[in-house]
Structure 1
């Protein structure tokens, strides 16, 4: 293989006229021409190339042609892995291309069409001949086409890409990501935006057709909805984009011929209904798959899209694809977690005279199925048992341990006529031997009617946050008595009970620590915040009380899930 020294020698031979056959051949070509060796370094160049590139021959010879010349529409170096000419060079095949750019010596860009072909010189190592010229319709004009997105400076383009990344990655909701994407590109780049998404069942759904009407974005829901399947052989622009094949500039004329698929029919309908005269259609991909396609359309905005506009739109669509893939994965994980948790958590019993409301809020990380749980069930003596607990961990083992603990608690509570502390003590003794639970916290209580409008609550607390009792008048106090060691420590110590009478119309709140924990705040601050909001909401119906309490107290998300059980006694007649 020829090295740099050999390349420089060939260049000197050409300049000195010692390669007359090659030199005469190149000079006879009217277009720009140069020859590269098998390393891609320039070994010969003609006068037309010197003039077009605004570089003296001495600056070209011996240099890597790709690194020196190849640029994208913004003047940035082109990755070798994305350069079609480079790929054809390595494959040693004849090929041609259009709408690409070379860097000139004066810092400007030269729009070119090119042809590349292997070229043999007697017994020397293989060479490749490159011919290039400016397109005929651009002669006498600015060699760089003016993009339709002409009002964006390079700084504005970079700012748009940065804004795209920050906004789209700030949400894990697919619909919100689509809305953000549309708001970013319309009306900044076009007056129409169309987003087609590929569902998990490989079906196409037209998720957005949005028009910029002054400062308002108008959603055309009549043009949204299900789309026909993706044709595998269609050369039409949207079909190719949905296969991840290519980006294209299109217009109504593109779909005037007989449609080859149902998607082509829908695209003709789109152009007819919107009045789009020029469109840029690009695929949206993630690292794993094709997510869909983004179509930007111009109807009223001056200027048609050109191929020079596609790199910016492709970059936006690529970032959108990554964000949409992350959001879709998150939503699938969250659905699995919530479904599993909801199946593990029980339905509440109906207790005459008592109202109950339960809520479960999963952790923000949807893959973290938690060990937080609640339960309420009838006891054999007619009382009702209440429980809220938290198994250490945030994974499937914690969720499985939670189910084991809850079922054992039910069995002990039903079979044994003992106070709550006795039941919890039996549970603590068994937990290390017949469950996979390492440690857990728990409040276990029993509630029964006293016959005078009061209800008696007895409980034992195993290392759990204290229950909160709120009177009908808004007085809120934590029930801190009956506090004992958490489960699973291996320490055998007597457990205590506590008892309180619940006044008419009062609300009892059992919860897990996710409700009071907040990054950067102490637990005392969390407890104070919960008591203040609970007291302010005491007058609300129980369902509204629990929902609004969650909204207010969990305003700042943490990384923990929440289980909550609210109970309200009858008001005095």
Structure 2
């Protein structure tokens, strides 16, 4: 498919371009083209897409193009991988990587292969029998399009020759004196008739002698009418020349009368129209031989010409069609796309192209092209029923894939099983059925309908009522129960309402079913790995055709995906519950000292069924000081959970046995990490609340704290002010450098003060900076700090954490009692 741009082809989309685009779309190829053989080159006259940098109109060298193979073999050429086929492997378009797969069919005109319609792409791909049939069908349309272009060109050339002949030679004239009988012709008219002046008798008898016998009576009648009415004379007739041969002549004239109304003379002109008739004869021969249907209508929409293919497609002989009015012969054209297209072309003088369906007995789809002409309309049409069916099949396939993709997306978007399958009912209506029900079978529980939908919103309430009633006393032979028991689809192809009424055990359910009036019903189990979790019930009304094999196959695929999604959702729920239970088992209940209140919260991430690395702790040291800890091990897996458990236990043991302050505890823990071969990094913040007898008398508490790269704790004072416990130069995370020195700060706080420690899941979001999250936390504390401590913790989670948190959230809060 190498070539150069064809400068001689006009721009603009043609009918062949549309056919090429349709070809590419129907067979799923990126590119398609129509090329015509002209000696040692192929002229590409139409494209449906082209590789980047390739001209849509171009000349390809025959020896290099793959279409030459199709032209030579005279049959469809199917190449799934051009690099392995010896016919194509060495062609430049293949060696350059431009063409990886090719499908071409020949264009045959008058028994001769004149071109190729092909589809191709850059990578290997399979072509099936349907693809070949599509190209062969469209190739017939392409041939008809080429025939029509040839007809238009022939007519144009014929008329041009006539116009040039008239301009060059002029028009002959005549005068017939009715009183004397003398008929006078000028030299041009004598030349047309092939008569020398000396041989012309100069009478109407001499004129009649030159006429073709078959035309004599008709021309005489036209002259007599003109003379009788003193009106116009018009006739076209054949002339038999003395030297042999026949010419066509077009004559026009008028009878002149004296003041009394008596006819005196007939004057007029005539010119040779033989070229026109020969051109029209050639056109007629082409029209008769072309594979497309063609007919012409006069301005009253009467048939004036019908070719053989039009006879076949219209189902009537031309003897019945010619002279008949289109609207009378084909009444279904009234108030249809046919009538609007024809009348629009007639009134506007502009061509019209449209596709329309004509009902039985023709019962077909047609592509119609209408050209206005001076005496009416020329109509070219193709039956495209198979093309439409192919397009409908392609559209249906796309719709099926879209439904499967939409179902998969919707069912996997949420991890709650009931919510996931409840969506299924509305996903399949109306594409698959008129209404639907989705049922679930819980472990050890009853059958429940959890989702329903109806194509008519006004009937949705009826379906919902039916869903609440139908499982009561349902007979074991019911399709729903059989599908659940066997794991196989169960169907009622017709008269479904009567069959279902017999298996329903509830009178209200029977009444509702009668109102819903299903004509067909199919039930598909929602199964995965040999286990059935529920069923999808589909219903079709009397106004809709019963489901076909493609519909049932699609429904089965949708149900299978729903079963897999349901199994995954249930597995996730169990794993999430197990993970959360394990996580919580690692976190102990907070202590209850008499001078302060401790509240703790933990939320697992909503998107992963894994044990997280977040932890909190609160305990009382031997000297009476209360220690609260918050920490976060890097990672979300079992290794992170194991490391979290180790660090939490080490920190608690170090703090209790040594009685050390926060910085010393973190220093010792950091040293223990490499010594005990714990391979991890973590953040942590430790706060110790301590009070001497003097402090208690003064109503104050010393708040001693240290942080290893953790988000800062917040202190909420009784006056409503909120202060972050942070330093200008934060300490490193645990597990980075055990020799680093830890900082420790001490603050004095009064009774009623609240201290809040938290993990980063409370303040970090995708698309939100940490600073924004900290500012939000500070604002909520200032707004809701007056709440009791337990309610404050709940409010913090409600305000700052989404329904499905992206990360684990640990929270510990301490309030000094008044």
TM-score by length of 1: 0.63
Q: Distance in 1 between matches of 2:585 and 2:472?
A: 32
1:526 aligns with 2:773: yes
The CA distance in 1 between the partners of 2:574 and 2:472, in whole Å, is 21
Once the two structures are superposed, what CA deviation does each residue of 1:241-286 show, in whole Å capped at 9, x if it has no partner? 55332342363554677xxxxxx77799965764464332112234
Q: Corresponding residue for 2:734?
A: 487
* Shift in alpha-carbon separation, 1:268–1:331, aligned structure 2, 3 A: farther
Alignment of 1:138-157 (within 5 A): 154=396
Where does residue 709 of structure 2 map in the other structure?
Answer: 463
Q: Identify the residue that residue 800 of structure 2 maps to in structure 1.
A: 553
Q: Distance in 1 between matches of 2:596 and 2:362?
A: 84
Aligned residue among 780, 783, 788 for 1:536 = 783
Structure 2 Cα separation of the partners of residues 343 and 266 of structure 1: 48
Match in the other structure for 2:809:
562
Say if 1:359 and 1:413 are closer, same or farther in 2 by CA, change over 3 A: same
SS of the residue aligned with 2:488?
Answer: coil
Per the alignment, residue 397 of structure 1 pairs with: 639
| Residue matched to 1:44 | none
Aligned partner (choices 430, 435, 438) of residue 195 of structure 1: 438
Task: Tell me the residue number matched to 1:55.
Answer: none
SS where residue 413 of structure 2 aligns?
coil
| 1:348 pairs with 2:594 | no
Q: Determine if contact 1:238/1:281 at 8 Å carries over to the other structure.
A: no
The structure, 1 or 2, with the larger RCO (C-alpha pairs under 8 Å, 6+ apart) is 1
Q: For the structure 1 residues 191 and 431, does the alpha-carbon distance in structure 2 shift closer, same or farther, using more than 3 Å as the test?
A: same
Deviation at 1:222, TM superposition (A): 4.7
RMSD (Å), alpha carbons: 4.1
Task: Give yes or no for contact 1:205–1:226 (8 Å, CA) kept in 2.
Answer: no
Aligned to 1:132: none
CA distance in 1, matches of 2:424, 2:731: 53
Write the distance in 1 (CA, Å) between the matches of 2:781 and 2:460. Answer: 41
Correspondence for 1:148: none
Q: Where does residue 458 of structure 2 map in the other structure?
A: 214
Q: Matched residues in 2 for 1:350 and 1:310: separation?
A: 64
Match 1:316 to one of 547, 551, 558: 558
**Cα 1:161–1:438 shift into 2, 3 Å:** closer
Q: Distance in 1 between matches of 2:809 and 2:439?
A: 36
Paired position in structure 2 for 1:178: 421
State the shift of 1:465 in Å.
Answer: 1.4
The higher radius of gyration belongs to 2
Alignment of 1:415 with 2:657, yes or no, is yes
The equivalent of 1:165 in structure 2 is 408
Aligned to 2:246: none
What residue is the counterpart of 2:580 in the other structure?
A: 338
Please give the alpha-carbon distance, in whole angstroms, between the structure 1 residues aligned to 2:540 and 2:706.
Answer: 69
1:441 counterpart (663, 683, 692) = 683
Aligned mates of 1:142, 1:157 — CA distance in 2: 27
Supply the distance in 2 between the matched residues of 1:349 and 1:536 (Cα, whole angstroms). 27
SS in structure 2 of the partner of residue 169 of structure 1 = helix
> Which of 248, 266, 272 does residue 491 from structure 2 map onto?
248
Q: 1:268 to 1:430 in 2, by over 3 A?
A: farther
Residues 556, 265 of structure 1: alpha-carbon distance in 2 compared, 3 angstrom cutoff: closer
Structure 2 distance, partners of 1:561, 1:438, is: 18
Q: Distance in 2 between matches of 1:564 and 1:313?
A: 47
Mapped to 2, the partners of 1:538 and 1:241 lie a distance apart of 55
8 Å CA contact retained: 1:208, 1:219: no
1:408/1:327 CA distance change after superposition, 3 Å: same
Do the aligned partners of 2:483 and 2:535 also contact (CA within 8 Å) in 1? no
- Asked if structure 2 preserves the Cα contact closer than 8 Å seen for 1:164 and 1:184, the reply is yes
1:332 CA drift (Å) = 1.8
Please report how far the alpha carbon of residue 453 of structure 1 lies from its aligned counterpart in structure 2 after TM superposition.
3.4
Give a deviation string over 1:49-74, Cα, whole Å, max 9, x none.
xxxxxxxxxxxxxxxxx96489xxxx
Q: Which is worse superposed, 363-372 or 379-388?
A: 363-372
Q: Deviations over 1:386-436 (max 9, x none)?
A: 011112221112212212222222222222132222222222222223363
Tell me if the contact between 2:440 and 2:450 (Cα under 8 Å) persists in the aligned partners: no
**Which runs of structure 2 are paired with 1:110-149 in the superposition (5 Å)?**
none
- Compute the displacement of 1:535 (Å): 2.3
The 1-side partners of 2:700 and 2:591 are apart by 20
Deviation at 1:474, TM superposition (A): 3.6
In structure 1, distance between residues paired with 2:689 and 2:801: 28
**Aligned-residue offset at 1:192:** 5.4
Contact kept in structure 2, 1:192 and 1:297, CA below 8 Å: yes
Partner of 2:291: none
Q: Distance in 2 between matches of 1:525 and 1:466?
A: 14
- The 5 Å alignment of 1:495-510 reads 495-510=742-757
**Structure 1 stretch 334-343 or stretch 397-406: which is displaced more?**
397-406
Tell me the matched-pair count. 420
Equivalent-residue separation in structure 2 for 1:174 and 1:544 (angstroms):
31
Give the match's secondary structure for 1:484. Answer: coil
Tell me the TM-score normalized by structure 2: 0.45
Corresponding residue for 1:453? 699
Q: SS at the partner of 2:734?
A: coil
Are residues 1:406 and 2:658 paired?
A: no
Distance, in Å, in 1 between the alignment partners of 2:460 and 2:497 is: 25
- d(CA) in 2 for partners of 1:274, 1:184: 22
Deviations 1:483-506 (A, max 9, x none): 433222243133221111233433
Following TM superposition, by how much is the alpha carbon of 1:227 offset from its aligned partner in structure 2, in angstroms?
10
Shift of 1:159: 5.5
Alpha-carbon shift at residue 207 of structure 1 (Å): 4.1
Matches within 5 A, 1:197-346: 197-199=440-442, 205-208=447-450, 210=452, 214=458, 217=461, 219-220=464-465, 222-223=468-469, 238-240=481-483, 242-249=485-492, 251=496, 253-254=498-499, 274-275=513-514, 277-278=517-518, 279-286=521-528, 289-297=531-539, 305-307=546-548, 309-346=551-588
Report the 3-state secondary structure (helix = DSSP H, G, I; strand = E; otherwise coil) of the residue aligned with 1:376: strand
Could you list the per-position Cα deviations for residues 187-234 of structure 1 after superposition, in whole angstroms to 9, with x for gaps in the alignment? 776675432334467x76324264756275574585488999x99xx7
Question: How far apart, in 2, do the equivalents of 1:342 and 1:227 lie?
Answer: 44
Closer/same/farther in 2, CA of residues 500 and 558 from structure 1, 3 Å limit: same
How far is 1:563 from its partner?
1.0
Q: Distance in 2 between matches of 1:485 and 1:270?
A: 69
Aligned residue in 2 for 1:378:
620
